[in-house]
Chains A and B, each alone.
Chain A
Amino acid sequence: MVDEEIADLAQALLALDEQRAVAVARALIDGGADPQAVLQRGLADTMLEVGRRWNAGELFLPEVVAAAEIFRLCNEIVEPALIAAGGRTLGHRVVMATVKGDLHDLGKNMVGAMMKTAGFEVHDLGKDVPAERIVEAVRELEPSIVGLSSLLTTTVPEQRAVLAALEEAGLRRSVKVMVGGAPVTEEWARQIGADGFAPNAPEAVRAALALVGDERLAGA
């Protein structure tokens, strides 16, 4: 019965049916289903399937982002139960932010969505995020990767400031930092001492998997 409902949740997520997915997730958790099973088999595995379909050219970016948004809504329902049950996290954790002074978060949202299709646990801090908040999140969440985005040439230097703040807080060695955004180049990433760079969302996933030593897509 629970298995059927989890399959139903997976199907709703794959069909991008937000209402149904949220309703099924709610019913599962309220009915006392194992939150780890709901998260893994109902949601996370389905996001991997979304990623597979993206790689096969069957899905487009708006669909991946929509799936990630439904995933987020369902996860909000599952997470409290998971924490209460002392559950574990999904996989590698990523903290993402559009840096201070920049309100352009569409690119970062795309990267976040694609990351979820590769099994990453994504914590999105939003846009116009000051360096201190990013440092705080790294201390609290202990992510494997921090992703920094900026679209404007005027906010790109803020990426360097975040790296410096991490360094100052003694956290730089504990986390890999990836940078991206239209004006960002591989050269800039090297110059400021970032660990990774990607020109678009699918490439960001590859770079992230390579950084955490996952061979699934790296070099594919």
Chain B
Amino acid sequence: MGRPEPAAPTEEPLHALLPSDPVDVLAAGELERIHWATLQVLARVGVEVRSERVLARLGAAGAVSDPGVGRVRFPPALVEAALAEPPRTLVLAARDPARDLRLDGRHGYLALDGCAAELVDRETGERRPSTAADLARITLVADALPQIGVLWQAVAARDRPVETQPLHELHAQLGSSTKHVQLMTAVRPEQARSAIEIARIVAGGDRELRERPILSAFQCSLSPLTYDGDALESAAVYASAGVPCGFVAMPIACATAPATPAAALVVSNAEVVAGVVALQLLNPGAPTFYGACGTVMDLRSGAAACGGPEDPYFQLASAQLARHYGLPSSIGTFATGAKGSDWQAGVEGGLSVMSSWLAGADLLCGAGLLHGARVHSTVEMLLDAELFDLACGLSDRMRADEEDLATQAILEVGPGGHFLAHPHTRRHMRRRWRSSLFGRETWEEWESSGRPGATDRARERVRQILAEHRPPALPETLDRRIREAIAAHGR
């Protein structure tokens, strides 16, 4: 809507078919009250914006700007009008057009999660600070996994200068995969401009990037109710180049948000809505999305808990709010407090992926993080991808038509027979989910192969991908121009 769509992709990336009737965890009255409370917060308290320039621009566009106290407030009518502006569906294009993603409420895609500052060494299990080379390696593995649709940079390139770090990250991602890239670390307008320049180099120019945005971005609120002025300006820079830019709230109940689920949702919702409204005031009609990664504080350590029962609840509720506003959603999924790929990580990931899928999330971010989203593990990334694969398997819907009810086959086989070789079985058996990491071998096979678990199989697969997978490289001329653009940044 509003933006040209590329030709239909020839080979879609793996996606979960979203439920046609997503779960509404909030009753209609509850949703109305959260929306109403959000409007009250935005009208009476507003959000802090740490930039006089942005405040002035928002004021000129109709918001109530208080530069003296560094706040902007949004009257309800303005909010309602702005929420109706952005396109309802998005196409996130990819370097390989076959890997384009359609955020249209029907397809759920898996995104990597970032941006971890450390990673677990695959072989030693020890953690260490991440580098640009790590990011390239992880992205290469992600390129080989059909389940992963979006590359949000998995780790930070901490061996690069802070100012150009996001550009090196973008370079590493574009050079290691042909999938859609989502950048979170370019939070200052100059960085956003350079990132756009790099994306234009790869896309083929300004018009090409507008038509096929191979890059998207998002900005995070600072809970409670604050935006860095640079973040909003960067969002406007992305928007003016046709690059979709979303807003993601990451509230921690009991700390940066109130303890009760309803109030935490109000604060989280107010932050995302404020970002979306501000962007629409600065760039009417700009493509955007609704993002939320809510959790609760661990009452003893004070750290973000990530996982448990609260996260899945926030996922369901946030995706419902996004649907209510008609915006594509990016919902934090797979959060775990586990330090390794163990029972806890599996349970939290399983509950989480079910919640996001049932809630109809367009983007499920993201795969590969442990320890409260602070440490990346490539092995965990594969295990999360397998859990997403389960959701894709779940989305083989019940169809109560003649063919799926198979009354004829039931009649033919009759009591005491079997369906093993019936033509109906052969017609439909490939719809059944098949695992690549879950163990379904015989006890003897399991013993003779050294009693491997899913984690061992995932580690082996990572080794294999790293040894064998070679995605199409960036043409040398483009690669050189990207390096030149990074070198020229800030000059």
Q: Is the CB of B443 within 8 A of A62?
A: no
Q: Are B425 and A62 in contact (CB under 8 A)?
A: yes
The answer to whether A203 and B418 touch across the interface, beta carbons within 8 angstroms, is no
Q: Are A186 and B444 in contact (CB under 8 A)?
A: yes
Task: Indicate which residue in B416, B429, B444, B445 contacts A62 across the interface (CB closer than 8 Å).
Answer: B429
With CB as the reference atom, state the residue of chain B lying closest to A110. B420
* CA distance in complex: A111, B184 (Å): 55
Q: Is A62 within 8 A of B442, CB to CB?
A: no
* Complex alpha-carbon distance, A61 and B422, angstroms: 11
CA distance A158 to B445 in the complex (A): 27
B412-431 to A contact mask, C-beta < 8 Å, 1/0: 00001010111101100110
Let me know if A200 and B421 touch, CB within 8 A: no
- Interface residue A16 (Cβ < 8 Å from any Cβ of B): yes
Chain B residues near A68 (CB, 8 Å)? 421
Indicate whether A150 reaches chain B with its CB closer than 8 angstroms. no
Q: How large, as a class, is the contact surface on chain B?
A: 10 to 19
Number of interface residues of A (CB under 8 A): 18
Which residues of B have CB within 8 Å of A200? 442
Contact call B426/A103, Cβ cutoff below 8 A: no
Q: Is the CB of A203 within 8 A of B426?
A: no
Evaluate contact between B442 and A69: CB separation under 8 angstroms.
no
Whether A65 is near chain B, meaning CB under 8 Å from some CB there, is yes
- The count of A-to-B residue pairs whose CB atoms sit within 8 angstroms is 36
Looking at the assembled complex, report how far the CB atom of A55 sits from the nearest CB atom of chain B, in whole angstroms.
15
Chain B residues, Cβ within 8 Å of A203: 442, 444-445
Q: A106 near B416 (CB under 8 angstroms)?
A: no
Question: Interface on chain B toward A: helix, strand, loop, or mixed SS?
Answer: helix
Q: With A and B bound together, what is the CA distance between A106 and B422 in angstroms?
A: 13
Evaluate whether A106 and B421 lie within 8 angstroms (CB atoms) in the complex, with A186-B444, A200-B442, A203-B444 already known: no
Known: A60-B429, A62-B425, A62-B429. A199 touches B444 (CB 8 A): yes
Closest residue of B by beta carbon distance from A70: B421
Q: Does A149 count as interface, using CB distance less than 8 angstroms? A: no
Given the known A-B contacts A16-B426, A60-B429, A66-B426, are A106 and B420 also in contact in the complex, defined by CB atoms under 8 Å?
Answer: yes
Is A142 at the interface (CB under 8 A from chain B)? no
Q: How far is the CA of A16 from the CA of B418 in the complex (A)?
A: 17
Q: Which residues of chain B come closer than 8 Å to A79, judged between CB atoms?
A: none
Interface contact B416-A65, CB-CB below 8 Å:
no
Q: Which residues of B contact A110 (CB under 8 A)?
A: 420
Contacts of A106 in B (CB 8 A): 418, 420
Please name all residues of chain A whose beta carbon is closer than 8 Å to the beta carbon of B421 when the two chains form the complex. 62-63, 65-66, 68-69, 113
A66 to B421 alpha-carbon distance, docked (Å): 5
Contact among A16, A65, A109, A199 with B443 in the assembled complex (CB-CB below 8 Å):
A199
From 157 to 203 in chain A, residues with beta carbon under 8 angstroms from any chain B beta carbon are: 186, 199-200, 203
User: Would you give the 0/1 interface string for B430-456, flagging 1 where the beta carbon is closer than 8 Å to chain A?
Assistant: 100000000000111100000000000
Q: How far is the CA of A106 from the CA of B442 in the complex (A)?
A: 17
Q: What mask results when residues 198 to 211 of chain A are scored 1 for a CB within 8 Å of chain B, else 0?
A: 01100100000000
Chain A residues with CB under 8 A of B423: 16, 66
Q: Which residues of chain B are near A103, meaning CB under 8 Å?
A: 416
Residues of B within 8 A of A66 (CB): 421, 423, 426
Please give the distance in Å from A132's CB to the nearest CB on chain B.
Answer: 23
Report the Cα distance A71→B317, complex, angstroms.
Answer: 56
- Across-interface contacts of B416 in A (CB, < 8 A): 103
Contact with B along A121-133 (1 / 0, CB 8 A): 0000000000000
Shortest CB–CB separation between residue A202 and chain B, in angstroms?
Answer: 9
Give the residues in chain B near A109, CB-CB below 8 Å: 418, 420
Q: Which of A66-84 contact B (CB under 8 A)?
A: 66, 68-69
**Do the beta carbons of B442 and A199 come within 8 Å of each other?**
yes
Query: In the complex, what distance in Å separates the CA atom of A61 from the CA atom of B442?
Result: 15
CA separation between A12 and B429, bound complex, in Å? 20
User: Contact at B426–A61, with CB atoms within 8 Å?
Assistant: no
Q: How far is the CA of A203 from the CA of B441 in the complex (A)?
A: 11
Q: Are B443 and A63 in contact (CB under 8 A)?
A: no
Residue of B nearest to A103 (CB): B416
User: What is the distance, in angstroms, from B381's C-beta to the closest C-beta of chain A?
Assistant: 25
Chain A 87-123 near chain B by CB (<8 Å), digits 1 or 0: 0000000000000000100100110010000000000
CA distance A63 to B421 in the complex (A): 6
Cα separation A68 to B421 with both chains bound (whole Å): 9
By CB atoms of chain B within 10 A, which of A16, A62, A106, A109 has the most?
A: A62
Q: Could you say which residues of chain B place their CB within 8 Å of the CB of A65?
A: 420-421
| Residue numbers in A under 8 Å from B429 (CB-CB) | 60, 62
Instruction: Give the residues in chain B near A69, CB-CB below 8 Å.
Output: 421
Shortest C-beta distance, B157 to chain A (Å), equals: 39
* B80 → chain A closest CB, angstroms: 54
Closest to A16 in B: B426
| Chain B residue at minimal CB-CB distance from A17 | B423
Chain A positions 45 through 70: 1 when the CB is less than 8 Å from some CB of chain B, otherwise 0: 00000000000000011110110110
Closest residue of A by beta carbon distance from B424: A62
Instruction: Pick from A62, A113, A186, A199: contact of B426, CB below 8 A.
Output: A62
Q: How far is the CA of A199 from the CA of B442 in the complex (A)?
A: 7
CB distance from A63 to the nearest CB of B (A): 6
Contact across chains for B420 and A61 when beta carbons are under 8 A apart: yes
Complex CA distance for A66 and B426, rounded to whole angstroms = 9
Having A63-B426, A106-B418, A199-B445, one finds 6 other A-B pairs with CB under 8 Å, namely A62-B422, A69-B421, A106-B420, A199-B442, A200-B442, A203-B445
16 contacts between A and B (CB under 8 A): A60-B429, A61-B420, A62-B422, A62-B425, A62-B426, A62-B429, A63-B421, A66-B423, A68-B421, A69-B421, A109-B418, A113-B421, A199-B443, A199-B445, A203-B442, A203-B445
Q: Across chains A and B, which 6 residue pairs bring their CB atoms closest together, nearest first?
A: A66-B421, A199-B442, A65-B421, A62-B425, A65-B420, A199-B444
